[in-house]
Amino acid sequence: DKGGHKHFMSKEIAEQPRVIGEAVRHYLSDDGNAVALPGDLDFTQIDRMTMVACGTAYYACLTAKYWFEQLAQMPVEVDIASEFRYREPPIPARTVALFVSQSGETADTLAALRYCDGKADKILSVVNVPESSIARESDLALPILAGAEIGVASTKAFTCQLTVLLMMALKAAEQRGTLTPERLSDLLSALRALPNTLNTALEQDGNIANAARKLSEASDVLFLGRGLMYPLALEGALKLKEISYIHAEAYASGELKHGPIALIDKHLPVVVMAPRDGLFDKTVSNMQEVLARGGKVMLVTDAEGTVEAAGDAWQTITLPAIDPVLSPILYAVPAQLLAYHTAVAKGTDVDQPRNLAKSVTVE
């Protein structure tokens, strides 16, 4: 049942405020003032984490690396499951291995989990299907509570994965004493406010559809972002490739002049993900480099960023302001809608894109 939507993907995008609200409530204490995780996870007994996943779930892990490192001072390594399992990396003592998978049945991720069994101190998973193989074979499986995801392109599972991973990082920060109680409480308030913030972002649907119609004429698109916006840029490019079949690539903004700048011309739209955070000026200076070479910039930012930097942009998508720590969850919405409307404009099969399966159970 598409609930009145034309595609499961658009229904699942629209469900995000509700399912994320439920996930946030599920992992908060009864009084709502602390993160409460199941099990007896003690992040003070852990020196490092290794996170392993595929596709969109891998980008959720890349985002979580920034959170665990910056908020909890916890070193994190992130790997693509198909590389990890055959590289057979050493797993040092006091390492937790964390596997993220919507289906919980991805063959490479499951094989990577089995490789860590008996080597890592603990095996954790963040899954959408609680009775899946990955969940069953973990010491502790944290459900993301996204509900069934039918569209092949992952949308609400991604943002629910991010939500749960952020809450884990906040728990780690609390246990390790790396954030002040005030900062922790601000971040929990921002999490509780997230459904409203996401609803405001969804109101940009019409603007994004207009932008997407123009994007649908491109044959290549470049996504740029820094910090937490870098993994999100990767996810935006993957989403666009999967369902619109437009070639898209993502780079960390700082890498632009190390190669991809050679591609810039008037035919290459560049989507710049740039909330008005501590890295904004740096990202904007990369955006200026694109504009100076005749590139077309689609700027995704907030109201302040729009005032400061949208002047020469080809298109601008303005989102509500948010604590920069939570920005990947919010900025996922325009990335998804952009891919969705581009695919609709091109007339591709949005929910069942060619050559793709929802669950990749063979390697």
- 56 is a site residue for ligand M6R (CB under 6 A): yes
Interface with ligand M6R (CB under 6 A), residue from 21, 55, 227, 305: 55
Query: Which amino acid, one-letter code, is at 176?
Result: R
- Which stretch, 21-29, 54-62, 249-257, 331-339, contacts ligand M6R (CB under 6 A)? 54-62
248 binds ligand M6R (CB under 6 A): no
Site track 112-151 with ligand M6R (rule: CB under 6 A), x = hit: ----------------------------------------
Task: Tell me which of 103, 163, 197, 336 binds ligand M6R, using CB under 6 A.
Answer: 103
Give 174 or 235: the residue with its C-beta nearer to ligand M6R.
Answer: 235
Q: Give the span between the Cα atoms of 309 and 274, in whole angstroms.
A: 10
**According to DSSP H, which parts of the chain are helical?**
8-14, 16-26, 55-72, 81-87, 107-116, 133-136, 156-176, 181-202, 205-215, 229-244, 280-292, 303-309, 327-346
Residues facing 124 on adjacent strands: 98, 140
User: In the sheet that 220-225 helps form, which strands lie side by side, from edge to edge?
Assistant: 247-252, 220-225, 269-273, 296-302, 315-319
Return the residue of 10, 16, 63, 109 that touches ligand M6R, per CB under 6 A.
Answer: 109
Rg (CA), the chain: 20
Stretch that binds ligand M6R, among 101-109, 193-201, 287-295, 334-342 (CB under 6 A): 101-109
Task: Return the range that interacts with ligand M6R (CB under 6 A); candidates 72-80, 83-91, 169-177, 353-361.
Answer: 353-361
Q: Select the span of 64-72, 97-105, 166-174, 194-202 touching ligand M6R (CB under 6 A).
A: 97-105
Do the beta carbons of residue 317 and residue 299 sit within 8 Å? yes
Separation of CA 362 from chain center: 24
Q: Which residues contact 336 (CB under 8 A, 6 or more apart)?
A: 9, 13, 153, 155, 239
57 binds ligand M6R (CB under 6 A): yes
DSSP line for 15-55: THHHHHHHHHHHTB-TTSSSB--STT--GGG-SEEEEEE-H
Residue nearest to ligand M6R (CB): 55
Using CB under 6 A as the binding rule, whether residue 54 contacts ligand M6R is answered as yes
- From 154, 159, 286, 318, residue interacting with ligand M6R (rule: CB under 6 A): 154
Which stretches of the chain bind ligand M6R, using CB under 6 A? 54-57, 101-103, 106, 109, 152-154, 242, 356, 359-360
